[in-house]
Amino acid sequence: MADVLSVGVNLEAFAQAIGAIQALRSSVSRVFDCLKDGMQNKETLEGREKAFIAHFQDHLHSVNRDLNELERLSNLVGKPSENHPLHNSGLLSLDPVQDKTPLYSQLLQAYKWSNKLQYHAGLASGLLNQQSLKRSANQMGVSAKRRPKAQPTTLVLPPQYVDDVISRIDRMFPEMSIHLSRPNGTSAMLLVTLGKVLKVIVVMRSLFIDRTIVKGYNENVYTEDGKLDIWSKSNYQVFQKVTDHATTALLHYQLPQMPDVVVRSFMTWLRSYIKLFQAPCQRCGKFLQDGLPPTWRDFRTLEAFHDTCRQ
Amino acid sequence: MGVTCVSQMPVAEGKSVQQTVELLTRKLELLGAEKQGTFCVDCETYHTAASTMGSQGQAGKLMYVMHNSEYPLSCFALFENGPCLIADANFDVLMVKLKGFFQNAKANKIETRGTRYQYCDFLVKVGTVTMGPSARGISVEVEYGPCVVASDCWNLLLEFLQSFLGSHNPGAPAVFGNRHDGVYGPADTMAQYMELFNKIRKQQQVVD
């Protein structure tokens, strides 16, 4: 009710104000008419000037009066749009033909949406800033083009050295067997078989691990023409999840100066999956959560957690 | 294939077999399992023919010939506690030719049919065991695809089973103990079904 009343009052003031504007316009045009007509025919020059000035003054006074009146009225009208959160666009809500032009409701939705977007973008950028990927952070802002130049030694290692490092790691873990092959030039591909639990395909560039795919022990890791299948993912959700975690581990274990340590730490971490189906979650104590066993292994303690149970 | 556990679900008190099966499937659906068609496992019993028994001086051994809709091209032949032979599906025709040695005990044919459910990496099959025209019991099969060693994932399987079987607590199947570190195979599943069917047959005899 209050809204309707205030609108009514405003409307009355509006009508008066419009009248006042019309009066002001006509008095202003009278001033210009007077100026245009110039001095009227009078007998003496002095009489002509006096009459003209008197007229001109009269007209200016009436302009002044009309202007004051308009100012008074404009205060009465107030600024109804100011306390509306959407300012002038809030007046769209007064539009009586809602059905034909639903501008106002659309506007409100767009406003809400953009507000939410801004809020979420703020949160996301905060989180992302906290967890910058260490791989790029370690290179201290070197651009991708210049990266090979910055670390020539680690990318151009002799294949013999890579073989040595891998075979040493192979001997280190008895329950893990590593098969190295070089189907495409110098880059090595590893097929790691961990107990009777899983198989991992590791694609390397020199001693850097580029990509890993984790599959089940009973899944096929070769394509039809007998090559390692580095593109298709596992059919089982649990190994898809472990693949995701292994990719995270690649980004975590980074030490550009000592690539062999990185490979060894990664393999040590990977070995903890030997108890993928046997270890309960260290936080909730259960085996299953949403049908999946604890797929996450802590990078330092190697303890098992569900994806949602880790910090 | 992964590790599979087959167990018998007792019929709920005051309920029929059909009602208990419905209760189970409703629980599975609530859990988020998706229906994926049907399944069927059947088992026929063969007696060693009297003529051959006499000459070899052996006690009559029973042989079971089984089919599983999960392996539509295969046929499984099992002796109790004995070896399991996995053959092509036309093994059945061969058995007809061997009538002189093995005789089909037609009245003993037993089978379980029901719905197949997928939940994450688990495959659940709830079936009604029928012998002749009437329902005799309920079979619950849970397969965990990613794992191949039975002893590795028994605790995990048990936790999953308990999530929808309620108070009923199935023990570890005997085949899990047989091969401690071996890779689990389809024959192990069939052996479990054979045991389940034998158990249900014996229960039937007691009731009769």
Point out the residue among B146, B149, B152 whose CB comes nearest to the CB of A238: B146
Q: What is the pLDDT of residues A41-73, one digit of tens each?
A: 767 788 888 888 888 999 999 999 999 998 888
User: Which residues lie across from B79 on neighbouring strands?
Assistant: B63
Q: What is the pLDDT of residues A95-120, one digit of tens each?
A: 777 677 788 888 889 999 999 999 99
Q: What is the pLDDT of residues B27-54, one digit of tens each?
A: 999 999 999 999 999 999 998 876 665 5
Alpha helix (H) residue ranges in B49-149:
50-56, 91-97
> To the nearest 10°, the Cα dihedral for A276, A278, A283, A286?
120
| Domain extents in chain A | 11-78, 159-274
Rounded distance between C-alpha atoms, residue B7 and residue B173, angstroms: 8
Q: What pLDDT is stored for residue A43 in this prediction?
A: 74
Could you tell me how far CA B71 lies from the centroid of its own chain?
Answer: 13
Q: Is A285 on the interface with B (CB under 8 A)?
A: no
CA-to-CA separations, A286 to A276, A292, B155, B165, in angstroms, rounded: 13, 10, 10, 17
Domains annotated for chain B, with CATH where assigned, are 3-51+60-206 (2.40.320)
| Ramachandran area for residue A248 (φ above 0: left; ψ -120 to 50: alpha; else beta) | alpha
Nearest to B142 by CA among B183, B177, B69, B192: B192
Rounded distance between C-alpha atoms, residue A170 and residue A105, angstroms: 66
* Chain A residues whose beta carbon lies within 8 Å of the beta carbon of residue B148: 196, 216-218
Q: What pLDDT is stored for residue A300 in this prediction?
A: 92
Q: What is the pLDDT of residues B80-124, one digit of tens each?
A: 877 889 999 999 999 988 888 888 888 889 999 999 999 999 999
Q: Which two structure tokens, joined as six digits, stand for A59?
A: 């007209």
Nearest to A244 by CA among A214, A264, A269, A270: A214
| Sheet containing A187-194, strands listed edge to edge, beginning at the edge strand earlier in sequence | A176-184, A187-194, A198-205, A208-216
* Chain B residues whose beta carbon lies within 8 Å of the beta carbon of residue A237: 120-121
**Using CB atoms and an 8 Å cut-off, which of residues 291-310 of chain A contact chain B?**
291-293
Both ends of chain A: CA-CA distance in Å? Answer: 54
Residue B146 and residue A291: Cβ atoms within 8 Å?
no
At residue A222, does pLDDT exceed 90? Answer: yes
Residue A218 and residue B1: Cβ atoms within 8 Å?
yes
Q: pTM here?
A: 0.68
Q: What is the mean pLDDT of chain B?
A: 87
Q: What is the pLDDT of residues A290-308, one digit of tens each?
A: 999 999 999 999 999 999 9
Please list, in sequence order, all residues whose beta carbon lies within 8 angstroms of the beta carbon of residue B116, skipping any fewer than 6 positions away: B35, B36, B37, B38, B39, B123, B124, B125
Q: What pLDDT is stored for residue A136 in this prediction?
A: 43
How large is the ipTM?
Answer: 0.88
Average pLDDT over residues B1-10: 90
Question: How confident is residue A143, by pLDDT bands cut at 50, 70 and 90?
Answer: very low
Percent of chain A's residues with pLDDT above 70: 84
At residue B16, does pLDDT exceed 50? Answer: yes
